[in-house]
Chains A and B, each alone.
Chain A
Amino acid sequence: MKQQEDILPILEIKNLKKTFGDNAVLNGFNMKLFKGENLVVMGKSGSGKSVMIKCLVGLMRADSGNIKIMNQDITLLRKTDLDLLRTHIGFLFQGSALYDSMTVRENLEFPLRRHKKKLHLNESSEALVREALRNVGLEHTMDLMPSELSGGMQRRVALARALILKPKIILYDEPTTGLDPITSKEIIQLMRHIQKTYDTSSLIITHDVDCARVISNRMILLVDGINYVEGTFAELSNSKDPKVQAFFKT
């Protein structure tokens, strides 16, 4: 039984389609994410990666297809049930998306106010905030405003906020975009550390090859709205297919 549970995907997308006017961004995309896995989805800018991840959390409605998260089809869920399911998903936005009118502490407390009891988190909010910030190495920034932090620090605080409800799945939307190479490496190391500490499954949307190399257990290339090819980093980087090679040539 335990084995079967482990084999069942924690997140599954079937035949996802999304069109904007005449532009079919997603044209039957399929994907499975398994427990404890780091899955990287790579694609060119404008290939529909962000659209796909937004459909996953219900920020965008797909034209057709099924999205199952923890065995629940999110396209069929009521708003309240979807909100509850979202508490099991952490989302790291490309631009961090910290609430700039709130301090770091208030940013992290924000998801707790509504969902702490529902998720049976017994520790105090203060303890949870401290723990999340300690895990990203920024405990000392608790009372600072987001505008007082550097880009890398903002990204780490955003990651702490994504982790505060101890989610089972974390979605990363271009986690290293806009950061310098050293900070990018720090963020990638942090993502690996988080995955081990919290035992999460991660879906990482990126076009950063270094990030994909270090973090991925498996990769999908999103080309022309479909999952063009799947495999490990080594398999894809050695592929002879010119469309695949285009991603790995520097």
Chain B
Amino acid sequence: MVASNSIWDNVKDFFEEVGDMAHFTGRFFREVFKPPFEFRELLRQCYNMGNRSMLLVGVTGFILGLVFTLQSRPTLMQFGAESWMPSMVSISIVREIGPVIIALICAGRIGSGIGAELGSMRVTEQIDAMEVSGTNPFKFLVVTRIVATTLMLPLLILLGDAIALLGSALVENIKGEVSFLLYFNQVFDSLKFSDIIPATIKSFFFGFAIGLVGCYKGYYCSKGTVGVGEASNAAVVYTSMLLFVIDFIAVFVTDIFFGI
């Protein structure tokens, strides 16, 4: 009886949380098109999220391309299909691995950062101070961050993909004596718009999800410093799950429109 009550409570909490998040999303869309627009803060956030994530995304992308190529090479060689390497790597990275891995990395770096920052602003009354000074804190803090992640994530994914392909080309150059020119010629021959466009659209949604969950968790943070830790942690966990759900939906939609 106690166990069933506990399960019921968890289910109820889950749906309440989903409802609250839907309400939060609705508020974002109501506020985002309403003046005044906080362009300066938006630019600052874009710089913080974009520029300061470049190194992490670059290193991750490079290692991803390098390892992926090193691991796939022996198997392709068994079938005498190593010439397919550039096509296989580029399609895998651009369509799926690049966006998902980089979005997960950004959920850890950006999402948790937003959750912790807004959470600590909430518990130290900085958000209340903003409201009392006659500024809409939702617009200044939440809208700018969600827009910034939505705009920056596709760019970071593009950068990560490019560096991953560079890493892959380096392995091919060293191990297979394939020139960079030949490698990238094959990459561009094999990539189609139907590979790039759905992946780019998907990455906007990934960025939106990272910003939304981080802001939601931070903005409604409570319970002092413990709450800040929980907000930061929950931002990463919820976002990671949401990214896979979005990815799953994106693959279905891509299949309908482009045929995988």
Binding site for B on A (CB under 8 A): 54, 57-59, 79, 83-84, 86-87, 89, 91, 93-95, 97-101, 110-111, 114-115, 161, 165
Assembled-state Cα–Cα distance A33/B49 (Å): 47
B124 pairs with A86, CB closer than 8 A: no
What 16 additional pairs, Cβ within 8 angstroms, besides A100-B126, A114-B133, A161-B133?
A: A57-B132, A58-B131, A59-B132, A83-B136, A87-B133, A93-B125, A93-B129, A97-B128, A97-B129, A99-B130, A101-B117, A110-B130, A110-B135, A111-B133, A114-B134, A165-B133
Assembled-state Cα–Cα distance A79/B139 (Å): 13
A97 pairs with B135, CB closer than 8 A: no
Assembled-state Cα–Cα distance A94/B128 (Å): 12
A97 pairs with B124, CB closer than 8 A: yes
Assembled-state Cα–Cα distance A98/B117 (Å): 14
| In the complex, chain B residues 139-193 whose Cβ is within 8 Å of any chain A Cβ | none
Give the tally of cross-chain contacts (CB within 8 A).
56
The 5 sampled A-B contact pairs (Cβ below 8 Å) are A59-B131, A91-B133, A100-B124, A110-B135, A115-B133
Specify which chain A residues have a CB less than 8 angstroms from the CB of B129 in the assembled complex.
91, 93, 97-99
Assembled-state Cα–Cα distance A165/B133 (Å): 9
Assembled-state Cα–Cα distance A101/B121 (Å): 10
Of all chain B residues, the one with the shortest Cβ separation from A86 is B134
B128 pairs with A115, CB closer than 8 A: no
Assembled-state Cα–Cα distance A110/B129 (Å): 11
Specify which chain B residues have a CB less than 8 angstroms from the CB of A54 in the assembled complex.
128
Partner pick for B132 among A91, A98, A99, A101, CB 8 A cutoff: A91
A86 pairs with B125, CB closer than 8 A: no
B133 pairs with A86, CB closer than 8 A: yes
Specify which chain A residues have a CB less than 8 angstroms from the CB of B134 in the assembled complex.
83-84, 86-87, 111, 114-115
Binding site for A on B (CB under 8 A): 36, 117, 120-121, 124-126, 128-136
Specify which chain B residues have a CB less than 8 angstroms from the CB of A79 in the assembled complex.
136
Of all chain B residues, the one with the shortest Cβ separation from A115 is B134
Of all chain B residues, the one with the shortest Cβ separation from A84 is B134
Assembled-state Cα–Cα distance A87/B132 (Å): 8
Assembled-state Cα–Cα distance A161/B126 (Å): 12
B133 pairs with A97, CB closer than 8 A: no
CB distance from B150 to the nearest CB of A (A): 21
A-B pairs, 10 with minimum CB distance: A97-B129, A83-B134, A97-B125, A111-B133, A86-B134, A91-B132, A93-B125, A87-B134, A97-B126, A57-B132
Assembled-state Cα–Cα distance A161/B130 (Å): 11
Assembled-state Cα–Cα distance A88/B237 (Å): 43
CB distance from B48 to the nearest CB of A (A): 9
B125 pairs with A89, CB closer than 8 A: no
Partner pick for B128 among A93, A100, A161, CB 8 A cutoff: A93
Specify which chain A residues have a CB less than 8 angstroms from the CB of B124 in the assembled complex.
95, 97, 100
Specify which chain B residues have a CB less than 8 angstroms from the CB of A114 in the assembled complex.
36, 133-135
CB distance from A162 to the nearest CB of B (A): 9
CB distance from A168 to the nearest CB of B (A): 14
CB distance from B14 to the nearest CB of A (A): 23
CB distance from B218 to the nearest CB of A (A): 13
Specify which chain A residues have a CB less than 8 angstroms from the CB of B130 in the assembled complex.
99, 110
CB distance from B47 to the nearest CB of A (A): 13
Assembled-state Cα–Cα distance A165/B134 (Å): 11
Specify which chain A residues have a CB less than 8 angstroms from the CB of B131 in the assembled complex.
58-59, 86
B135 pairs with A111, CB closer than 8 A: yes
Assembled-state Cα–Cα distance A91/B129 (Å): 8
B132 pairs with A110, CB closer than 8 A: no
A110 pairs with B133, CB closer than 8 A: yes
CB distance from A170 to the nearest CB of B (A): 11
A95 pairs with B132, CB closer than 8 A: no
Of all chain B residues, the one with the shortest Cβ separation from A87 is B134
Assembled-state Cα–Cα distance A86/B121 (Å): 20
CB distance from A81 to the nearest CB of B (A): 11
Specify which chain A residues have a CB less than 8 angstroms from the CB of B36 in the assembled complex.
114
Specify which chain B residues have a CB less than 8 angstroms from the CB of A115 in the assembled complex.
133-134
CB distance from B87 to the nearest CB of A (A): 46
Specify which chain A residues have a CB less than 8 angstroms from the CB of B133 in the assembled complex.
86-87, 91, 110-111, 114-115, 161, 165
Assembled-state Cα–Cα distance A79/B131 (Å): 11
CB distance from B129 to the nearest CB of A (A): 4
Assembled-state Cα–Cα distance A83/B129 (Å): 12
Specify which chain B residues have a CB less than 8 angstroms from the CB of A95 in the assembled complex.
124-125
Specify which chain B residues have a CB less than 8 angstroms from the CB of A87 in the assembled complex.
133-134
